[in-house]
Amino acid sequence: MTISVEISASVALKISKVGEDTYPATEAGPLFGLDIASKPSEDKRHTAIKVSHAFQFPPSYTNDEIFSLRASNVKYQNDLLAKLKDTKVGVKHLGWFLTTNGGRFVSQSLIEAIINQQNQNLTENRDSTPVVVLVFDTLKSMDGLLSLRAFKLSDSFVRAWKSDERFVSKNLYENRLTYRNIFEEVPLKIKNNHLSNLKLQELSPEFEEDSCLELTGATLASMNLTVDNLAEAVDNFNHTLGNLNYYQRNLSRELVKINQWKQQIKQQNEAKLKIDPNAKLTETENDWHRHFRLPIQPSKYDNLVTSGLINSYCNSLETDGSIEQVKIAGIEECN
């Protein structure tokens, strides 16, 4: 099944207004609308998610997380949906929007909120439509470009989450899950009504040829913040990597002990059989688990999410750097 997201211009403007008003803080809120599935007779099923309403969560002054679905936010979200239905507006909860700075949006709280919402939709309404997240980068939008993208959890991540051995090495390999495909970007389209399109056609904004080459301070601020966030994410990654290395060292020590024990038992059994070929062996090499216990393999969930966050920061820096490099080359050509 393929999906696409379509939002009205009013929703895009509202999200950008929230990002501008709350900068440098990050905010979030629920999205409401409809999803329209293609006919079952068609070869490839497609679902169009149409977002018609977006609301900001009440501000929180004690939350430093990228995204938090607290009990008060859940109640606010449910109250909004009930009021929309009371006014005969046929909508459902589709997901959330986030305002971010420097490409930071991957977090455990967001992932778990999406998983819980998808499970709730499937249990209560038999609705398997993925929950979407609209990510608005405030700093990048200060350059005059709307940085608004849509994401959903990848099928590989959902399968890994539902498996019994969650996020161990074997589980990640079987589902082909890496930090690069935790989220999957979804095609996003902003739709205006006909009157808005007509008015835009009548407008003739003034455009200076050299304005596109301006090296704005907004990009520099965005890159500085992204670098700071990247350094923090790398520190967190090193911490989780230390836990995995600790497990590997313990596992290696236990395996050495087990191999030594197996060799000892093998030699003892061979000596017994030489003396008496009909002797009954009390223990064999396969009985090692009675004497040793391997350390429990830790989940790579934290490491995976942190790696995904680092990847988003690096992609953001690469994109911003490429744009500024093109501007510098253009300025050199003009001179």
Q: What pLDDT score does 255 carry?
A: 86
Among candidate residues 296, 331, 139, the one with its CA nearest the CA of residue 227:
139
Residue with tokens 């959330």, as numbered in its chain: 96
At 133, the pLDDT band (50, 70, 90 cuts) reads very high
- What's the whole-number mean pLDDT along residues 106-110? 85
Q: How far is CA 267 from CA 281, 285, 288, 297, 304, in A?
A: 12, 10, 15, 31, 44
**Residues 277-298 pLDDT 10s:** 777 777 787 788 788 887 777 7
Domain ranges for the chain: 2-192, 208-335
Half-sphere exposure of 21 (CA within 13 A, CB side): 10
How many C-beta atoms surround the C-beta of residue 78 within 10 A?
A: 12
Q: What pLDDT score does 263 carry?
A: 87
**Residues 146-158 pLDDT 10s:** 788 999 998 889 8
| Average pLDDT over all residues of the chain | 80
Distance of CA 317 to the CA centre of its chain: 18
Q: What's the angle, vertex CA 188, arms to CA 184 and CA 189, rounded to 5?
A: 170
- CATH code assigned to 2-192: 3.40.140.10
At 134, the pLDDT band (50, 70, 90 cuts) reads very high
d(CA 322, CA 148): 19
- What's the whole-number mean pLDDT along residues 156-184? 84
Q: What pLDDT score does 62 carry?
A: 43
Cβ contact 183:308 at 8 Å:
yes
Among candidate residues 175, 166, 161, the one with its CA nearest the CA of residue 297:
166
174-198 as b/e, with b when 16 or more CB fall inside 10 Å? ebebbbeebbeebebebeeeeeeee
pLDDT at 330 exceeding the cut of 80: no
| pTM score, whole prediction | 0.74
pLDDT at 212 exceeding the cut of 70: no
Q: What pLDDT score does 87 carry?
A: 83
- Amino acid at the residue 251: L
Backbone angles phi, psi at 281, to 5 degrees: -85, 125
At 97, the pLDDT band (50, 70, 90 cuts) reads very high
- Amino acid at the residue 298: P
Strands (E), the chain: 2-8, 28-37, 46-54, 92-100, 132-137, 148-153, 183-186, 188-191
Residue with tokens 């040793």, as numbered in its chain: 292
Cβ contact 317:226 at 8 Å:
yes
**Residues 219-241 pLDDT 10s:** 666 677 778 888 888 888 888 78
- What's the whole-number mean pLDDT along residues 8-30? 85
